[in-house]
Every structure is written in structure tokens, then in C-alpha cells.
Amino acid sequence: MDYALIIDGKRHLTSDSSEVRNPSTGGVVGRMPNAQPQDLENAVAAAKRAFATWSQKSDEERRAACHAVADKIEAHAEELAQLLTAEQGKPLGGMGSRFELGGTVAWTRVTADLELKPEVLQDTPEGRVELHRKPVGVVGSITPWNWPLLIASWHIIPALRTGNTVVIKPSPYTPLSTLRMVELANEVLPPGVLNAISGPDSLGAAMSSHPDISKMVFTGSTATGRKVMASAAPTLKKLTLELGGNDAGIVLPDADPKAIAPGVFWGAFNNNGQTCAALKRLYVHDSIYDEMCKELVAFAKTVPMGDGMDEKNQLGPVQNKMQYDKVSALVDDAVKSGGRVLMGGNPSGGPGYFYPITLIADVKDGMRVVDEEQFGPVLPIIRYSDTSTIVEQANRNPNGLGGSVWSSDVAKAKKLAQGLECGSAWVNKHGAIQPNAPFGGVKQSGLGVEFGAEGLKEYTTIQTVFV
């Protein structure tokens, strides 16, 4: 099919387009329409017009509309999953594309049923004071290439639920599934409420500086998040930024390496490690370090990697060459610095951006593979001996998205986890998120939160009414 921009409820074909390639095979999946500056202006103008009526819809009408979007996505879930695997590379099964579509539907339904009721702050003979939450206006959304549809739903549905309208720009690496999902949503939404444009990164800069966009929500790298924040400053936009993470996992000496190996592995390698809140630094106590390494290697060898269209595979390729080259450089640097590759490394060189599952021992803080976010199928394993200082060591990284502690003593692990400087802390698991629990980063990992009632509030302004 021909992929198109979706502006004011209509498909809009462009004169210019770019190839979108399958990272498993290198084959062309489709062509991305390249929006021009005027297309962005048209999309924002459509969203601004639609806001006048959408913001006045009743709470129940907006709830029903969000459920209708969920119904539409669910009815086309397999179509979208196939397209998502083709352009992103993740497997159809396991925790791949079908899992992502299931999560997209679930998040949409849970968010649809959330409410932000007016609060009474005072009701006395002197007067009544109420707190009301109002939509901000047009929301600009920029989404990444790792979880294109799930993250799109995290941006779109809270905005619509609270009465805003949206212009979304997907990553140029994975635009097609988002354009198709927005096209489907427009079958049940009024024109202009949800618009989608695609094209080069320059469009994102134009969005974040646009005077008629009242809020930007961005998921991606910290470096790009800083640019979004800077270009939004002149118009004092509201911002939600979910940025890079370099999550630490701490394995205490009383943990059972064999028992926790599967959880540690999937905490690190879910979506091939291409997840912001994946476990990216594993600190293991000296007393069980060798055993933990052995058990991780044993489990990793059972996980098949390959073309996502093959149902047997559980991991796919790195999504693009830029990220593949970064992963390769980090592993090469670790080896030169004394790291010991337990398994992996030495990629075959194609076809496809397949980098083998790689576990690296005998690394330490200060090495690039530990200090930088790999965002790929690589896990550095760091030895430590002093439990009393390990949380402080883990906190030295400038990121603060997530972290975990692994132990047979849950109470002790919980206390240590609460000492981690991160937005989400887990005990004996890593990366588990859910639509009713706020999620966001601290330090260099972002601003604001998503999910639950706290996430809805990010799409509103407060009006205090004195009676």
C-alpha cells in the first residue's frame, strides 16, 4: 500500500518519499512520505481547529472514543504486527510485535478508563475553592524506533483522553506502522483530532518550536531531549521527556544465580536490549560472580536470534546501522580495555544488523561499555565486594530511569532499591511496567511521568475556581 501523512482525517500523499528497510534482510518494506514544512503547518492548524470542539466533548464521549481506538487497533493487530516486524525487526512472537500490539491495546483501554475529577480544596462559609484540570491544546509527539506503536499509544491516548488534539511524528526508521495505526484510529475519531506526519529529524525541531503546539512529549535519547527542551523554551511549552537510561542491577551475595538468571537475562535483553529501562549494568558480588556469569551464559545459549518473521526466534536484529555500529564500538573498546567476552562479539557482518547476544565480564566503571547506554544485545558484568557502598557506586551514573536489586531477602533488597537514584526500582525483576503505575526518569533521564492518573495530569493545566 502507499503510505501517507494523515492530516485533518484524510490521507495526504507527498511528492517526496524515502525507503524504509527491513533490518533483518535489507529489503524495502515501503516508502515513508516526507512531509514538507507546509504539511506540518496544515497538521497543526487541523489539530488547533479540532481542539475547539474536542476539548468540549464530555468525559464519557472521550472515554468511548479512546475505547473505539482500542477496538480498531485490536481488530487490525496482526496486520500491524506484521508491518512492525518488517520495519523494526523484532520477532512476531514472544515479547515481540504481537506482544507490543497487545500492550498497545491494553494501555489504551486502561488509560481510557482513568479519570481526573475536580477537587474541592475548601468548602466553608467563607467560600468554596475548586481545582479543575483543563486540556493544554495541541500536543506534539515524537516517538522512537524501539517500541513504535506502544510508545505512540503512551503519547496519544492520555492526550486525547484529557481533551487535547495531537500531531505525532514517528521515527524515520520505523514510520510505517505508526502511520497505518493513526489512519485506522481516524476511522473512529473526528477529523483533526489525531494527525501524523513523517520525515526527517528537522520536522521535530519545527514542532518543538511551533507557537501553536502547547506541549511536547518526546521519548528518545538524552542528547535529543536537550534539543527539544532548548527549542521549546521560547514558547514555554509544557514538556514530558522520557530519555535515555543506563539502568543498574545489583545482585546481592545471598541471591541464587541459577534461579535469577532468566529474569536478569530478559531484564537486559528484552527487545534485544533496545529498551530505555532495560538492565544495562549488572553488579554482582564477588562471592557469586563466577557462578552468575556461568548461569547467564547457559541461559543465553537457549535463546534463538534471527529474522523476526521466523516464529521460532525470540530476538531479532539491531534496528539500524547507526546503533549497530555503536554497539560494535562499545564491545571493541571493552575488549581493548581488558574486558573478557563470555559469549558473543564477532558479528557475522550480515545480511541484516544481527549482533550476537554478548556478555562481557571483568569490566568496571569508567569503561565506555559500562558508563554509556549500549541500547543493544550487550550486558557488562561488574564485580564488587562491598555491599555497603554498591548503591552509591551505581548512583554515580548521570542517568536515572530504572534500577533493580536481586536477593533472597526481599526486605533488604527493597531498602537498597529505594536508595537507587531512579524513577522506577524493582526487586527481583527489572523493567516491568504497567499502565496504572507512574513511570519516568530523574537526573539526565527525563522530565515528568507517564501512565496512571499522574501521567494524565501531565496533559493538563490547573485552573483554580474561587466561588
**CATH code: domain of residue 220:** 3.40.605.10
Asked whether the bond before 211 is cis by omega within 30 degrees of 0, the reply is no
Candidate list 276, 293, 373, 421, residue with the active-site label: 276
Same domain flag for 180 and 275: no
Residue 432 included in any domain: no
How do residues 400-448 score in pLDDT, each as one tens digit?
999 999 999 999 999 999 999 999 999 999 999 999 999 999 999 999 9
Same domain flag for 260 and 190: no
pTM of the model: 0.97
Residue 350: is its pLDDT beyond 90?
Answer: no
What pLDDT, on a 0 to 100 scale, did the predictor assign at position 338?
A: 97
d(CA 28, CA 7): 25
Angle at 274 between CA 270 and CA 277, to 5 degrees: 75
User: Cα–Cα distances in Å, from 398 out to 353, 416, 422?
Assistant: 29, 19, 10
Candidate list 87, 242, 295, 458, residue with the active-site label: 242
What pLDDT, on a 0 to 100 scale, did the predictor assign at position 344?
A: 97
Residue 434 included in any domain: no
Same domain flag for 416 and 353: yes
Q: Tell me what the pLDDT averaged over the chain comes to.
A: 97
120 forms beta bridges with 130
Work out the pLDDT band at 348, boundaries 50, 70, 90.
confident
How do residues 67-108 score in pLDDT, each as one tens digit?
999 999 999 999 999 999 999 999 999 999 999 999 999 999
Find the mean pLDDT for residues 295-309: 98
Active site residue 276: yes
d(CA 22, CA 84): 10
Q: List the domain range (segments joined by +) for residue 167.
A: 5-243+442-466
Residue 334 host element (H or E): helix 321-336
Same domain flag for 369 and 317: yes
Residue 391 included in any domain: yes
Residue 437 included in any domain: no
Same domain flag for 208 and 284: no
Residue 104 included in any domain: yes
Find the mean pLDDT for residues 311-333: 97
Residue 387: is its pLDDT beyond 80?
Answer: yes
Residue 192 included in any domain: yes
What pLDDT, on a 0 to 100 scale, did the predictor assign at position 17?
A: 97
Which of these, 37, 49, 12, 58, lies nearest to 191 by C-alpha position? 49
**CATH code: domain of residue 269:** 3.40.309.10
Same domain flag for 169 and 226: yes
Residue 433 included in any domain: no
What pLDDT, on a 0 to 100 scale, did the predictor assign at position 242?
A: 97
Angle at 285 between CA 252 and CA 295, to 5 degrees: 90
Find the mean pLDDT for residues 436-461: 97
What pLDDT, on a 0 to 100 scale, did the predictor assign at position 1?
A: 75
Same domain flag for 399 and 456: no
Compute the half-sphere exposure of residue 371: CA atoms within 13 Å on the CB side of its CA: 8
Structural domains counted in the chain: 2
Residue 305 included in any domain: yes
Same domain flag for 420 and 320: yes
- Mention every residue, 6+ apart, whose C-beta is less than 8 A from residue 3: 30, 31, 32, 33, 175, 176, 179, 180, 198
Active site residue 242: yes
Same domain flag for 237 and 268: no
Find the mean pLDDT for residues 123-145: 98
